């Protein structure tokens, strides 16, 4: 089957949007299967920048884009995004799962409240209501798009959330939600059946995750994680499709490591060196604008990502940025209680990180090849794409994707 699932290998912000945009021209359908507007995929088109938040980043290349059931949707934000994207592509063939859950103003307020209650132990969420939307989903009092067919039912669902959260709302808000819903109603359908039929009929389908492996709610640095399944396993529950439909998996890794929010970060850099790399890479959140924490490439982290996601390929991004640094360090192992540890454990902070140093390729391109060869030898997975700049065509093909 001609399907490819793209995941992030680190804490998110690996440059998945650019890679997905590049690949999408070779796929009939692009599908987003998790997260909400807290995730941002950036693609630079000429002198304009597209910041995707809910629509799949394969929008420009694929004939059809799908927002699957695993995504939680702020309808007003989606309406705004669709209108913006029409300036790039007038014909929008978008399908939205009727089973997708909706983020409401009650979820926004709940998100802010929970961060305040956590105090010094706050998660560092984007305050977009994403966590509470998943909270209500798994608490079985969430609101799905299919519920918008009946105003009375929608009002009842909002009232229940209001009681559970102890947050009041104005009944007029129901009509405001319904007005926004009417703007996207024509796109809503049974996306699971649609995707099944497309794949069975030989169409090529690209699946994309939001965020990265190590903020997955099951496999990440809990509790400093997102609220959805960001690994390759999430594509089955996020689309409703059987695992047999997923054939190949590509992981996107930045040539260094970044993280937004709280949580462990073994290779984090501080001080002037961190500021230099952050500014070189413009490491500020697509959605929030928050400065990202930056650090060295972490091979133990990537080893675990390869296993968790059953990766067949890797795309390595931002090598142009890292190449501007005078000296380049790579974490090759950790130490805990005097023992060497070769693989990242998201529940255990190592005592020490062991590094190897590489020469910059700022003036000698052969040093970049040595860096790439080293990563491939350590991970035993081919690096097939290399991101060499922010423009959408600034990608070097380093190998073949055999689907």
Would you name the residues annotated as active-site residues?
Answer: 13, 41
Peptide bond into 150 cis (omega under 30): no
DSSP 168: -
C-alpha distances (whole Å) from 59 to each of 67, 107, 127 are 11, 28, 26
Q: Are 294 and 280 in contact (CB under 8 A)?
A: no
Within 13 Å and on the Cβ side, how many CA atoms surround 240? Answer: 17
Q: Are 66 and 242 in contact (CB under 8 A)?
A: no
Q: Which positions ≥6 away from 78 have C-beta within 8 Å?
A: 37, 54, 55, 67, 96, 184
The closest alpha carbon to 319, from 365, 354, 264, belongs to 365
Kindly compute the dihedral angle of the four CA atoms of residues 206, 209, 212, 217, in this order, to the nearest 10 degrees. Answer: -140
Within 13 Å and on the Cβ side, how many CA atoms surround 339? Answer: 4
* Residue 43 CA to its chain's centroid (Å): 14
Q: Are 347 and 263 in contact (CB under 8 A)?
A: no
Exposed/middle/buried for residue 339 (C-beta within 10 Å: 0-12, 13-18, 19+):
exposed
Q: Are 132 and 101 in contact (CB under 8 A)?
A: no
* Residue 328 CA to its chain's centroid (Å): 26
Alpha-helical regions (H) of 139-240: 151-165, 172-184, 191-200, 234-239
Give the tokens for residue 58: 């394969």
């Amino acid at each position: 089957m001609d399907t490819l699932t793209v995941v992030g290998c680190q804490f998110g912000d690996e440059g998945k949007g650019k890679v997905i945009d590049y690949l999408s021209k070779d796929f009939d359908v692009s599908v987003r299967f998790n997260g909400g507007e807290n995730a941002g995929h950036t693609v630079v088109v000429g002198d304009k920048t597209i910041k995707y938040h809910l629509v799949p980043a394969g929008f420009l290349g694929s004939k059809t884009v799908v927002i699957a059931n695993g995504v939680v949707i702020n309808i007003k934000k989606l309406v705004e995004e669709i209108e913006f994207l029409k300036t790039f592509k007038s014909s929008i063939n978008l399908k939205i799962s009727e089973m997708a859950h909706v983020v409401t103003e009650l979820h926004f307020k709940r998100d802010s409240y929970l961060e305040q209650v956590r105090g010094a132990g706050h998660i560092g969420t984007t305050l977009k209501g994403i966590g509470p939307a998943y909270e209500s989903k798994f608490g079985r009092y969430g609101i799905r798009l299919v519920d918008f067919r009946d105003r009375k039912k929608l009002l009842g669902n909002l009232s229940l959330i209001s009681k559970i959260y102890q947050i009041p709302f104005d009944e007029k808000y129901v009509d405001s939600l319904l007005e926004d819903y009417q703007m996207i109603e024509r796109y809503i359908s049974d996306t699971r059946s649609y995707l099944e039929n497309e794949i069975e009929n030989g169409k090529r389908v690209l699946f994309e995750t939001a965020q990265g492996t190590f903020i997955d709610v099951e496999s990440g640095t809990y509790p400093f994680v997102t609220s959805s399944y960001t690994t390759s396993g999430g594509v089955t529950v996020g689309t409703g499709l059987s695992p047999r439909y997923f054939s190949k998996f590509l992981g996107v890794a930045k040539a260094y490591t970044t993280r937004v929010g709280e949580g462990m970060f073994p290779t984090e850099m501080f001080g002037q060196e961190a500021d230099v790399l952050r500014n070189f890479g413009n490491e500020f959140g697509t959605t929030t604008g928050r400065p990202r924490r930056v650090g060295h490439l972490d091979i133990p982290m990537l080893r675990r990502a390869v296993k968790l996601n059953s990766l067949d390929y890797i795309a390595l991004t931002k090598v142009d940025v890292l190449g501007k640094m005078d000296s380049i360090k790579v974490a090759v192992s950790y130490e805990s209680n005097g023992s060497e540890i070769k693989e990242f454990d998201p529940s255990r902070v190592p005592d020490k990180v062991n590094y190897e140093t590489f020469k910059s390729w700022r003036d000698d391109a052969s040093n970049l090849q040595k860096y790439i060869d080293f990563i491939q030898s350590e991970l035993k997975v081919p690096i097939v794409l290399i991101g060499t700049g922010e423009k959408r065509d600034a990608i070097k093909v380093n190998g073949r994707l055999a689907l």
